Amino acid sequence: VPTADELRSTVVTGISRGLGAALFAEAYRLGDRLVGVGRSFTAEQRALATDRPDRVALIEADLALESSIPPAKAIADALGDCARAVLLHNAAVIEPLGMVGALTPAEIATAVTVNLLAPMLLTNAFVAALPASVRRARVLFISSGAAHNVNEGTAIYSATKRGGEKYFEVVAAELARVDPRVTVGVVDPGIMDTSMQTFLRSADTPRREHYVGRYQRGELGDPVTVARQILASSVTR
Ligand SMILES: NC(=O)c1ccc[n+]([C@@H]2O[C@H](COP(=O)([O-])OP(=O)(O)OC[C@H]3O[C@@H](n4cnc5c(N)ncnc54)[C@H](OP(=O)(O)O)[C@@H]3O)[C@@H](O)[C@H]2O)c1
């Protein structure tokens, strides 16, 4: 566990499963103070928050609801007095899958809010909330190859990831000038064995066989391995 002047507070969204759960567990193992943001948490995460409030804080938030997304005050309270601060935008939804014209309006709005609006609002809150004690901060957007590929059936997901990449490109340039303590990046974690892939294999899209094939050939990454790589290479330590 690092000394107080090296304490790193790491905020991760969507930690109930998949890559987010792995990022949470791995950053905890590295000694970070963790702030989990999401609408559901594992029993283990809840127990940690109760037993080790110095190490783990959980913020209940449905990122599909703009009014539920934590404002700067909540982020500031959760970060505490830390020397380093990290924000990992992990939460995302793959739905709605299907062709334009056949999508449900509410599902489109949910995807844009979780995948794109929530990272925008949370980044705005995080930068505003950074305590004077912070010497270095990092914001990382978990993107996807879908941001650059044309995969029929995933127009909404692809657009939110591409939009996020552009948002963070501009924010990186802004912060390099106005608050150089903060660096900003995007990372494509690659295809991973999570519930998102389970859903893609079961959904009726032109790419279904592609996802089934990659699963059957054992090509899906292990989220724990990917989380380790992200923390080692994309998050400044
Ligand atoms: N898996 C892949 O092959 C793959 C490939 C490229 C990129 N990615 C990206 O990697 C990241 C993690 O994906 P994953 O595969 O781990 O996904 P996942 O298994 O589906 O997990 C998604 C996480 O996001 C949370 N979430 C969803 N909707 C939410 C909401 N309204 N409010 C709060 N939290 C919400 C979920 O929590 P709940 O329990 O509340 O639903 C869950 O913890 C995503 O950004 C994804 O786009 C994944």
Q: What is the mean pLDDT of residues 125-151?
A: 97
pLDDT at site 77: 96
pLDDT at site 6: 84
Nearest CA to 113 out of 67, 73, 53, 79 is that of 67
Cα–ligand 1 centroid distance for 89 (angstroms) = 10
- The answer on pLDDT for 237 being more than 90 is no
- The answer on pLDDT for 110 being more than 50 is yes
d(CA 156, CA 232): 30
- The answer on pLDDT for 3 being more than 80 is no
Q: Distances from the Cα of 113 to the Cαs of 72, 75, 105, 156, 224, in angstroms?
A: 18, 19, 12, 11, 26
- 88, two tokens: 């990992």
pLDDT at site 4: 63
Cβ(115) to ligand 1 under 6 A? Answer: no
pLDDT at site 150: 95
Q: What percent of the chain has pLDDT over 90?
A: 95
Cα–ligand 1 centroid distance for 143 (angstroms) = 11
Shortest-distance atom of ligand 1 to CA 195: 19
pLDDT at site 234: 87
Residue type at position 120: M
Q: What percent of the chain has pLDDT over 70?
A: 97
Give the model confidence (pLDDT) of 152-188 as tens digits: 999 999 999 999 999 999 999 999 999 999 999 999 9
Cβ(90) to ligand 1 under 6 A? Answer: yes
Write down the mean pLDDT value for the chain.
96
- The answer on pLDDT for 2 being more than 70 is no
User: Would you place residue 1 in the very low, low, confident or very high pLDDT band (cuts 50, 70, 90)?
Assistant: low
Residues 6+ apart with CB under 8 A from 55: 28, 33, 34, 48
d(CA 179, CA 139): 13
Pocket test for ligand 1, best of 196, 198, 220, 225 (most atoms within 8 A of CB): 196
H or E element: which one contains 57?
strand 56-60
State the pTM of this model: 0.97
Q: Of 37-46, 182-191, 197-206, 223-232, which gets the smallest average pLDDT?
A: 197-206
- The answer on pLDDT for 236 being more than 90 is no
Give the model confidence (pLDDT) of 80-105 as tens digits: 999 999 999 999 999 999 999 999 99
- The neighbouring-strand residues paired with 41 are none
Handedness of CA 200, 27, 35, 162 (dihedral sign): negative
Phi, psi of 185 (to 5 degrees): -145, 170
d(CA 69, CA 91): 12
Q: What is the mean pLDDT of residues 100-116?
A: 98
